[in-house]
């Protein structure tokens, strides 16, 4: 580490709030060697992003200020540069890519022009040379037809391609350091694997140093050389990846590793007694003796949405779910997995009668939504409930948690009015929330607390079926693990059927007994969790499973790149 | 959240607005106690008197005390602003909410109706309605309600369109809540912030159109004291007696100022940007 490219020493940042200054970054020290990938891990609010923004003097608010420390790069202190000097560093020496490529690309500017813009500003190339250089770059980051795609706008690309465009913009001026702030969080696993592979190739071919901010230890294990764990503005642990993952010294690091929904834990065991039937490996109490009548019965379901085709244009439609048949029996825990756009949320909403069915049948508890829509809907509203992805957006911001729960109880009418306050308290205890929080509004709670309140609201219906739609996707990993544990306990102790929708296969494997894999609106594979994950029959399922970044660095997620054009 | 707006400055705007508005309300309530003269008493001996100790704001061509007329006029003008905003707000909110929530044909029909009303110039439409109904304050209120609701309906409709796809609205439906409950208990309370802010600046507009209608002789009838009429009556004497026109004009401006400051402060507090 003698020839560090970037050396941060005792960096502190404070915010001047109404209650006096508060420290957000506390004496952070880090080194980055040439050609190294450093992982910055920690929960939201731990200061990962702030640290990187501070290096570029891009503090998000005027109330923030650097209170001490240095960040030496090439003999200069980045923190002491003035704005004009800083402009030369940004882009030219340190490039940055962000979590959400759609909001960081200019929507009305051609993608190619955005890449060429940096070339013209920093390297003073003329229009033609900049265009040629930009097209070459687009080829390097994996665009299939750069000359044509140069003139396309960001909305014409998928999320993964936009992230590639962002990387090209950041690389345009040949920076020495690339800061990647959660670059794959918004992407599907298979796309994530491609982007991570691209970053590693760029490191190889350009000798680029990368600071990779992420909350996913799997991503770190697969890509980084060294890891820094941050918590509450401090670096609690830095070390070589393997050493740190194998022997975490700080208790917080241990908690992080423990809460990673890792695929391999019971994997080795399975490999040993591979001969036994996988069904036996699952909890026998839940698998055997299933009642014969399914709670939810879906038969050849089609859900189509009209696509706007102008006033006189022909009406066209988009098929979100096509020809899906599925049976869910009482007491089952079923996971539905698939990438975004695979139709899993639409399927869930159709199951609960929240979206009109174009074709096919949905029946709940033997009542068909087509045959007896009134009775079926009434039954669903009485016996099924949903938990949503965004914990803040799924609760009415104007009502307190207590009011929200009490309203459900009043409308459902299953609890006597006088008993409602007691029931509210009971529900909050059930989801491990302090009943004193009943008087708070969603905005005064954390994401995890809000999600617990959302689950309590679902439980207020006293449901037989809960449909959870990506309900942990927006939460930090440690909170994710807690919510999953809560679901496990609820399913075990109550007579509950759970449909758990997620793009995170590891969590589904952890929680569910049966899994349904969806792709482009169809079910590609279905079966017991252990079986599907152990021996996927379809290539798509296998690809999905292989794309999960494993926390064990030796279980390579990324197969050696299949000869990519560089 | 944003650090750019200091809560202190917002408070100052709000306090200033409330003080202005409160002053007018107090004056209106206590008019008989604080007004030095009877607002319609004509003193033939004291016509067109400039401001003096006896008549701080002077007298008009009938010898009536301007200050007393201003104080009593506050009653009429405040009432106009209040009622003139209240009915459009309520009607527009309900119609806009229903249009946005139900969508489809209901929405299409209501939106075309709004387009038709907006196609006419505001004041012309007001004047024609009042002309049909006959002059007077109640005609003014009816005309205001018929014309003014469209802005509120559009505001609320836009909000409802966004919010009805929010997770908590879907959640409410999935929990078996009735449409009415979802709309009026969950969606509406979350969408009125913008309208409440707008209704403060709308109050200014109502006040000015009320004054304008009275000025044209279609609103409040003389000899009742009302600021718009006072401006109209003073116009003939502008060169000899500026005070007849100036003080009621100032009163209108000050009250409008108060409303808009409250509106600004509310907007910042609720995070609404017009």
Q: Looking at residue A363, which CATH number applies to its domain? A: 3.40.50.300
Q: Are A249 and A327 within one domain?
A: no
DSSP alpha helices (H): ranges in A7-73?
A: 48-55
Same domain, A229 and A377: no
For residue A408, give the nearest of B173, B175, B178 by CB distance.
Answer: B175
- The CA–CA distances, whole Å, from A469 to A84, A458, B247 equal 48, 12, 64
Cβ-nearest to A393 among B168, B185, B189: B168
Q: Are A487 and A511 in contact (CB under 8 A)?
A: yes
Q: Which of residues 146-175 of B touch A (CB under 8 A)?
A: 166-168, 170-175
Residues 6+ apart with CB under 8 A from B124: none
- Strands A514-519 and A522-528 turn out to be antiparallel
Chain centre distance of CA B76: 12
**Where in the sequence is the domain holding A234, given as residue range(s)?**
1-91+179-184+215-261
Residue ranges with strand state E in A74-161: 76-77, 94-97
In 3D space, the residue among A348, A425, A415 whose CA is nearest the CA of residue A382 turns out to be: A415
Question: What distance lies between CA A65 and its chain's CA centroid?
Answer: 31
Which secondary-structure segment (H or E) carries A297? strand A296-307
Asked if the Cβ–Cβ distance from A62 to B3 is below 8 Å, we say yes
As a whole number of angstroms, the distance between CA B228 and CA A183 comes to: 63
C-beta atoms surrounding A135 within 10 Å: 20
What is residue A16's three-state secondary structure?
A: strand
To the nearest whole number, what is the mean pLDDT of chain B? Answer: 86
Q: How is residue A156 annotated by DSSP?
A: G
Contacts of A305 in chain B (CB under 8 A): none
Q: Which residue of A has its CA nearest to B182?
A: A396
What is the nearest CA distance from B160 to chain A, expressed in angstroms? 14
The answer to whether the Cα torsion of A490, A493, A498, A500 is positive or negative is positive
The pLDDT, as a whole number, for residue A467 is: 93
Contact criterion met (CB below 8 Å) for B129 and B142: yes
Measure the N-to-C terminal CA separation of chain B; round to a whole number of Å.
18
A480 and A389 share one domain: yes
Q: Do B168 and A382 touch (CB under 8 A)?
A: no
| DSSP conformation letters of chain B | --TTS-HHHHHHHHHHHHHHHHHHHHHHHTHHHH-SS-TT---GGGTTPPS-SSSTT-B-TT--BHHHHHHHHHHHHHHHHHHHHHHHHHHHHHHHHHHHHH-HHHHHHHHHHHHHHHHS-HHHHHHHHHHHH-SSHHHHHHHHHHHHHHHHHHHHHHHHHHHTTSHHHHHHHHTT--HHHIIIIIIHHHH-HHHHHHHHHHHHHHHHHHHHHHHTTSSSPTTS--HHHHHHHHHTTTTT-THHHHHHHHHHHHHHHHHHHHHHHHHHHTT---
In a domain, A557, yes or no: no
Q: What is the 3-state secondary structure (H, E, C) of A323-353?
A: EEEEEECCCCEEEEECCCCCCHHHHHHHHCC
Together in a domain, A480 and A361: yes
Question: Is the separation of the CB atoms in A40 and A228 below 8 Å?
Answer: yes
* A 408-427 residues inside an 8 A Cβ radius of B: 408, 411-412
pTM of the model: 0.72
- The number of angstroms, rounded, from the C-alpha of A188 to the middle of its chain's C-alpha atoms is 8
Residues A228 and A364 in one domain: no
Do A287 and A230 share a structural domain?
no
Interacting residues of B256 by C-beta distance below 8 A, sequence separation 6+: B204, B207, B208
- Is the ipTM, as predicted for this complex, more than 0.85? no
Enumerate residues 178 to 197 of chain B having a beta carbon within 8 A of any beta carbon in chain A.
178, 181, 185-186, 189-190
Indicate yes or no: CB of A381 within 8 angstroms of CB of B189.
no
Is B272 touching A (CB cutoff 8 A)?
no
pLDDT of residue A127: 87
Q: Which residue of B has its CA nearest to A374?
A: B176
- Residue A414 in any domain: the answer is no
Determine, yes or no, domain membership for A529: yes
Residue A127, classed as helix, strand or coil, is helix
Contact state of A394 with B174 under an 8 Å Cβ cutoff: no
Q: Where in chain B are the domains? A: 7-269
Burial class (CB in 10 A: 0-12, 13-18, 19+), A16: middle
What span, in angstroms and rounded, lies between the C-alpha atoms of A403 and B168?
A: 14
SS3 of A308, please?
coil
Helix (H) or strand (E) holding A228: strand A226-231
Whether residue A478 sits in one domain with residue A352: yes
- Nearest-CA neighbor of A339 among A487, A514, A548? A548
Do residues A392 and A247 both lie within one domain?
no
Q: What are phi and psi of A91, to 5 degrees?
A: 85, -55
Residue A48's nearest CA partner among A215, A208, A209, A176 is: A215
Beta strands in A492-546 (DSSP E): 497-502, 514-519, 522-528
C-alpha to C-alpha distances, B186 to A74, B100, B104, B156, B171, nearest whole angstrom = 57, 14, 21, 13, 11
Closest CA to B180 of B97, B263, B112, B236: B97
User: Which residue in A has a C-alpha nearest to residue B186's C-alpha?
Assistant: A396
- Examine the domain organization and report whether A357 and A231 are in the same domain: no
CB A127, CB A208: distance < 8 Å: no
Nearest to residue A428, comparing CAs of A397, A399, A398, A459?
A: A459
pLDDT of residue A144: 83
Question: pLDDT tens across B222-255, in order?
Answer: 788 888 888 888 888 888 888 888 998 899 889 9
Q: Is the pLDDT of residue B66 over 60?
A: yes
Given its phi and psi angles, is residue A42 left (phi above 0), alpha (psi -120 to 50 degrees) or beta?
Answer: left
CB-nearest partner of A396 from B168, B174, B176? B168
| pLDDT class of B112 with cuts at 50, 70, 90 | very high
Domain shared by A243 and A333, yes or no: no
- Name which residue leads in pLDDT, B41 or A271: B41
Other Cβ atoms within 10 Å of B122 Cβ, number: 15
Number of domains chain A is built from: 2
User: How remote is the C-alpha of B158 from its chain's centroid?
Assistant: 22
- What is residue A380's three-state secondary structure? helix
Chain centroid offset of residue A121 CA? 35
In Å, how far are A33, B99, B102, B109, B165 from B158, measured between CA atoms? 53, 10, 13, 16, 12
* pLDDT recorded at residue B96: 93
Per DSSP, what are the bridge partners of residue A469? A501
Phi, psi of B219 (to 5 degrees): -105, -120
Mark whether A339 and A252 lie in a shared domain. Answer: no
**Best A19, A354, A396 residue to mutate vs chain B (most B CBs within 10 Å):** A396
Instruction: For chain A, give the longest Cα–Cα distance.
Output: 77
For chain A, residues with pLDDT lower than 50 are 1-2, 264-290, 560-566
Determine the average pLDDT of the residues in B126-132. 91
Query: Which residue from B174, B177, B190 is facing A354, i.e. has the nearest CB?
Result: B174
Residues A295 and A329 in one domain: yes
pLDDT at position B273: 45
Nearest chain A alpha carbon to B172: A408
| pLDDT for position A272 | 38
Nearest CA in chain B to A410: B177
Q: Domain B7-269 in CATH: superfamily?
A: MetI-like (1.10.3720.10)
């Amino acid at each position: 580490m003698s020839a560090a490219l970037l050396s941060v020493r005792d960096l502190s940042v404070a915010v001047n709030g109404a209650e006096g200054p508060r420290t957000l970054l506390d004496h952070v020290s880090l080194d980055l060697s040439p050609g190294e990938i450093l992982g910055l891990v920690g929960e939201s609010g731990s200061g990962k992003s702030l640290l990187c923004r501070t290096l570029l003097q891009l503090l998000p608010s005027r109330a923030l200020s650097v209170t001490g420390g240095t960040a030496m790069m090439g003999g200069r202190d980045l923190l002491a540069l003035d704005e004009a000097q800083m402009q030369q560093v940004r882009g030219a020496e340190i490039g940055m890519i962000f979590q959400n490529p759609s909001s960081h690309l200019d929507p009305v500017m051609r993608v190619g022009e955005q890449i060429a813009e940096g070339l013209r500003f920093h390297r003073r190339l003329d229009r033609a040379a900049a265009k040629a250089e930009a097209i070459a770059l687009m080829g390097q980051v994996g665009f299939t037809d750069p000359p044509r795609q140069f003139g396309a706008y960001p909305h014409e690309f998928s999320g993964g391609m936009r992230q590639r465009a962002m990387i090209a913009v950041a690389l345009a001026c040949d920076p020495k350091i690339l800061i990647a702030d959660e670059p794959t969080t918004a992407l599907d696993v298979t796309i994530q694997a491609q982007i991570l592979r691209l970053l590693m190739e760029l490191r190889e071919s350009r000798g680029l140093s990368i600071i990779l901010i992420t909350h996913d230890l799997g991503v770190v294990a697969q890509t980084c050389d060294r890891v820094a764990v941050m918590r509450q503005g401090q670096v609690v642990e830095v070390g070589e990846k393997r050493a740190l993952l194998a022997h975490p010294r700080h208790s917080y690091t241990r908690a992080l590793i423990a809460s990673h929904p890792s695929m391999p834990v019971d994997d080795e065991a399975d490999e040993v007694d591979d001969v036994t039937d996988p069904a036996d490996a699952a909890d026998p109490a839940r698998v055997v003796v299933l009642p014969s009548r399914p709670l939810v019965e879906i038969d050849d379901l089609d859900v189509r949405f009209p696509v706007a085709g102008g006033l006189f244009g022909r009406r066209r439609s988009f098929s979100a779910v096509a020809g899906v048949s599925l049976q869910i029996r009482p007491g089952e825990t079923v996971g539905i997995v698939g990438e975004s756009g695979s139709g899993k949320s639409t399927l869930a909403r159709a199951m609960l009668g929240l979206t009109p069915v174009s074709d096919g049948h949905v029946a709940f508890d033997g009542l068909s939504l087509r045959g007896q829509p009134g009775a079926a809907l009434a039954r669903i509203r009485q016996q099924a409930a949903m938990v949503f992805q965004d914990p803040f957006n799924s609760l009415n911001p104007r009502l307190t948690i207590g009011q929200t729960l009490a309203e459900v109880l009043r409308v459902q009418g299953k609890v006597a009015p006088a008993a409602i306050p007691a029931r509210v308290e009971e529900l909050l205890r059930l989801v491990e929330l302090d009943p004193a929080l009943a008087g708070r509004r969603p905005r005064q709670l954390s994401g995890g607390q809000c999600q617990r309140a959302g689950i309590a609201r679902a439980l207020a219906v006293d449901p037989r079926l809960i449909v959870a739609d990506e309900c942990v996707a927006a939460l930090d990993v440690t909170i994710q693990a807690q919510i999953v544990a809560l679901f496990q306990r609820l399913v075990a102790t109550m007579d509950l059927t759970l449909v758990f929708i997620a793009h995170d296969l590891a969590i589904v494997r952890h929680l569910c007994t049966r899994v349904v894999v969806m792709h482009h609106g169809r079910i590609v594979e279905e079966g017991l969790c252990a079986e599907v994950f152990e021996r996927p029959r379809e290539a798509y399922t296998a690809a999905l499973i292989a794309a999960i970044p494993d926390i064990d660095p030796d279980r390579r997620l990324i197969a050696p790149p299949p000869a990519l054009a560089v | 959240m944003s650090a750019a707006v200091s809560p202190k400055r917002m408070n100052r705007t709000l306090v200033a607005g409330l003080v202005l508005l409160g002053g007018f309300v107090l004056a209106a309530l206590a008019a008989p106690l604080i007004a030095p003269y009877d607002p319609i008493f004509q003193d033939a001996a004291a016509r067109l008197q400039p401001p003096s100790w006896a008549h701080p704001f002077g007298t008009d061509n009938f010898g009536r005390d301007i200050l007393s007329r201003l104080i009593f006029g506050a009653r009429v003008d405040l009432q106009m602003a209040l009622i003139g905003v209240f009915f459009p707000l309520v009607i527009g909110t309900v119609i806009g909410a229903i249009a946005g929530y139900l969508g489809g044909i209901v929405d299409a029909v209501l939106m075309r109706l709004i387009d038709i009303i907006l196609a006419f110039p505001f004041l012309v439409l007001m004047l024609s309605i009042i002309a049909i109904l006959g002059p007077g304050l109640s005609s003014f209120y009816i005309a205001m309600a018929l014309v003014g609701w469209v802005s509120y309906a559009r505001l609320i409709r836009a909000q409802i369109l966004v919010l009805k796809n929010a997770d908590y609205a879907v959640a409410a439906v999935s929990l078996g809540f009735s449409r009415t409950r979802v709309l009026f208990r969950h969606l509406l309370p979350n969408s009125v912030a913008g309208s409440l802010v707008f209704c403060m600046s709308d109050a200014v507009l109502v006040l000015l159109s009320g004054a304008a209608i009275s000025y044209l002789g279609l609103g409040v009838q003389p000899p009742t004291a009302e600021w718009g009429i006072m401006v109209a009556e003073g116009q003939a004497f502008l060169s000899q007696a500026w005070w007849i026109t100036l003080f009621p004009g100032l009163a209108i401006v000050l009250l409008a100022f108060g409303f808009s400051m409250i509106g600004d402060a509310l907007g910042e507090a609720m995070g609404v940007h017009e």
